[in-house]
């Protein structure tokens, strides 16, 4: 095979690669959509965020409520927080949650699960195999 034929084959192969294949940002940290009902803040896309993070909804809402320092809970597909909260605050807390409980510290991929071993919880990465202890 000549060099020219080889180059043509390579060009043809590169054309068949789908767009976005080489992008490393296949997963993005979700952002909240808020609504206000009286003095309460509703996270209307709460279930979408949970499905995106692949984490327990009770653990996630507990983290948010503790960080904000308010009461609240889950009602249907929404999360309710007492008091008016800023969108920037909620988005920052979602990012903090992802950094602590979703994204692998070693390879920075979101392909993780939390497992319990004995009395401790570990963040196990399916991409690189790393295991980090986490406090729940």
For residues 70 and 81, give the distance between their C-alpha atoms in angstroms, rounded to a whole number.
7
Q: Which residue has the tokens 């949970």?
A: 50
For residues 132 and 130, give the distance between their C-alpha atoms in angstroms, rounded to a whole number.
7
For residues 15 and 94, give the distance between their C-alpha atoms in angstroms, rounded to a whole number.
38
Kindly state the DSSP code that residue 66 receives in the 8-state scheme: H
Structure tokens at 17: 């690669």
Structure tokens at 88: 């920037």
Residue 18 included in any domain:
no
Residues 38 and 92 both lie in one domain:
yes
For residues 24 and 80, give the distance between their C-alpha atoms in angstroms, rounded to a whole number.
34
Name the residue range of residue 59's domain: 31-102
Residues 67 and 121 both lie in one domain:
no
Residues 79 and 90 both lie in one domain:
yes
Q: What are phi and psi of 59, to 5 degrees?
A: -65, -40
Asked if 107 and 116 count as a contact pair (C-beta separation under 8 A), the reply is no
What pLDDT shows up at residue 27? Answer: 82
Please give the tally of structural domains in the chain: 2
Residue 110 included in any domain:
yes
Residues 122 and 76 both lie in one domain:
no
Q: Which residue has the tokens 């920037």?
A: 88
What pLDDT shows up at residue 23? Answer: 52
Residue 135 included in any domain:
yes
What is the tens place of the pLDDT at every residue in 87-128?
Answer: 999 999 999 999 999 999 988 889 899 999 999 999 999 888
pLDDT at 64 exceeding the cut of 60: yes
Residue 12 included in any domain:
no
Residues 57 and 97 both lie in one domain:
yes
């Amino acid at each position: 095979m000549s060099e020219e034929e080889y180059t043509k084959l390579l060009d043809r192969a590169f054309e068949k690669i789908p767009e976005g294949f080489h992008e490393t940002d296949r997963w993005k940290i979700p952002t909240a959509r808020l609504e206000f009902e009286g003095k309460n803040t509703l996270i209307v896309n709460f279930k979408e965020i949970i499905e995106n993070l692949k984490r327990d909804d009770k653990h996630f809402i507990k983290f948010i409520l503790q960080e904000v320092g308010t009461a609240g809970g889950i009602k249907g597909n929404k999360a309710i927080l007492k008091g008016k909260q800023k969108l920037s605050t909620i988005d920052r807390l979602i990012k903090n949650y992802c950094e602590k409980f979703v994204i692998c510290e070693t390879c920075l991929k979101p392909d993780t699960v939390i497992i319990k071993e004995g009395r401790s919880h570990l963040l196990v990465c399916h991409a690189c195999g790393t295991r980090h202890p986490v406090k729940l």
